[in-house]
A and B are shown apart, each in its own frame.
Chain A
Amino acid sequence: MNFQELQEQVKNQFSQVEVRFSSFRNNNRADVSAGDVFSFLEFLQNKMGFDMLVDLSAGDYSQYPGAKHRYGVWYALLNTVAGTRLIVRTGVDDPDPRLASVFSFWKGADWMEREVYDMFGIEFDGHPDLRRVLLPDEFSGFPLRKDYPLRGLGERHNFQPVIRSEG
């Protein structure tokens, strides 16, 4: 199934939602709004055979030329039978960036969604265990946001030593 056929299929079977397709350097992409991404991904998994979530991550587009949303989230999907790939992109905004979790479709989304939450503060509704994955629980910032400085906010200098009797 090539990209043209996929576009046709989506147009025929999933017409209730506006999907904008684009292609760049063999990367096929579909942009949908944040409210529709869950149903679109469900459709892609059930009907189009995208059985593997290769990657799920996000970016802070606050200083990006021509960006419509503060955060962009992308889902890189793969159909392991046909070998076709599709990147689904969506955008969310402050003050309450949140998306529906796709853990129910792909179990691989577990840690990837936790990492996005950890680094950007985007929350995923329906995730069974959404807590920080790389940073400690008491960390307050979201380091991959563009307003977080490269050298940190002084966490390193103000770090409380852990004492054995209290640990």
Chain B
Amino acid sequence: MPLKLADAIPETGGEGREFLWNLNFGPQHPATHTTLRLILTLEGEVVVHAVPDIGYLHSGFEKLGEHLDFNQYVTIVDRMNYISPVSNEISWHHTVEKLFEIELTPRCKYIRTIFAELMRIHDHLLCCGAAALDLGAFTAFLYAFTLREKINDICERASGQRFHPSYTRVGGLLKDVDDHWIAQVRDFVRSFPKTHAEVMKLLQRNRIFVDRCRGIGVLSREEAINRSVTGPIARASGVTRDLRKDEPYLAYGDLDFKVVCATEGDCYSRFLVRMEEMVESNRLIHQAVENIPCGPINVDVETKIPLPNQLSVYRSIEGLIQHFELNMTNRKWNAPVEEVYAATESPNGELGFYIVSDGSGVAYRARTRPPSFIHFSLFPHLIVGHQLSDVPAILGSINIIAAELDR
């Protein structure tokens, strides 16, 4: 039988506990940014126990994944981690392509790499900016937010959508990028170091920010591994793992970049790791955009996997038939009857999908391994012993996106 939520909260009062009181933090609170709720038990201002209560944004994404086909579901994964949408799309289609055993074209790999890294900067800028905002440093947030506009413009140019581009497709992309897009990316690469320097200047030696971050929410290396932590949070604790290096996918094998790590494991080192990762991402974008190969963006249309382009649908019978085959609900793809797990390094950590396929064009079970969900289970462990004012610092540093947390 399920326990009641009340059972998880220790009784206030009683022998030696008469000073404890409960505080309901959220679900509507400026520091949570989205809807999540914490029930904190405090002794004065020190948190002695925390119970997260989540599910306010649960909308059954995984159930929808069992009813939408491999291309349609991309619009749903977009909305999981909505501050790095293309990373989710890449991860989803990475898994689908692993199921079909498709090797992407070089051009598609490079464009996806550029998008993945743009999204990493997009996510980290918001995370670092919002973490600073919660700790009282408003200016850094505005600088960070301004640059994100450029990334939204780049998404808009490529796909027509600013926030949820739904840009990837099975075996390729929605459409090719043009010269103006390349110019926009180059412009972004040039303007990024200035913003980065400004944010760093405002925060790195900011006495209030540093004092409120250093030594707060320390996560040791062993704890990080044992609690399934990945991504920048694990790297800030000294776990030297990055899927881009360890299991190279897309074009990461060709490009030169460093994996940023720290050993402290506190909120400040998580901030520094994210800031340095953005510099590496910018280097990656620079290398990739100057070396985009020419050629098609979709895999060979003869494989019956990608959608044919518009011209061939209207002007050739083969294109028309294939378009029809892939879009009719009773046809679609012939997937192998198998199960596959694949993961990519999303800005928040390892974002994996586990697809169980029953041979149709719709996943039988589409499991997401959401990094936010796993990282938020850390929170009670990180906050205990710290003060109430450290709650926003820790929440900001673990970058919880409630849509991904609840799916």
> Chain B: residues with CB nearer than 8 A to chain A?
2-5, 8, 54-55, 58, 60, 62-64, 67, 98-99, 101, 223, 225-230, 239, 241, 246-247, 337-343, 350, 352, 354, 356, 358-359, 364-365, 367, 369, 373-374, 376-377, 406-407
A29–B354 Cα distance when bound, in Å, is 13
On whether A136 and B55 interact (CB within 8 A), knowing A54-B352, A108-B228, A130-B2, the answer reads yes
Whether the Cβ atoms of A134 and B62 lie closer than 8 Å is: no
Q: Which of A13-21, A34-42, A58-66 contacts B (4 or more CB under 8 A)?
A: A58-66
Chain A interface main SS type: loop
Tally A-B pairs: CB < 8 A.
119
Q: Which residue of B lies closest to A119 (CB)?
A: B62
Contacts of B5 in A (CB 8 A): 131, 137
Q: Which of A60, A108, A112 has the most CB of B within 10 A?
A: A108
Would you mind naming 17 contact pairs between A and B with Cβ atoms under 8 Å apart? A24-B338, A27-B339, A55-B367, A57-B369, A59-B356, A64-B364, A66-B337, A74-B341, A80-B225, A80-B239, A107-B226, A132-B55, A133-B54, A134-B55, A135-B58, A137-B2, A144-B63
Whether the Cβ atoms of A55 and B340 lie closer than 8 Å is: no
Whether the Cβ atoms of A131 and B8 lie closer than 8 Å is: yes
On whether A51 and B3 interact (CB within 8 A), knowing A27-B341, A111-B374, A144-B63, the answer reads no
Whether the Cβ atoms of A52 and B228 lie closer than 8 Å is: yes
A137–B407 Cα distance when bound, in Å, is 18
> Chain A: residues with CB nearer than 8 A to chain B?
24-27, 29, 51-55, 57, 59-61, 63-66, 72, 74, 76, 80, 83, 87, 106-112, 115, 119, 129-137, 143-144, 148, 150
Q: Which of B54, B246, B337, B367 has the most CB of A within 10 A?
A: B367
Whether the Cβ atoms of B369 and A55 lie closer than 8 Å is: yes
Contacts of B350 in A (CB 8 A): 54
Whether the Cβ atoms of A76 and B99 lie closer than 8 Å is: no
B368 to chain A, nearest CB (A): 9
Contacts of B367 in A (CB 8 A): 55, 57, 59
Q: Which residue of B lies closest to A51 (CB)?
A: B225
Whether the Cβ atoms of B226 and A134 lie closer than 8 Å is: no
Contacts of B227 in A (CB 8 A): 106-108
Contacts of B228 in A (CB 8 A): 52-54, 106, 108-109, 112
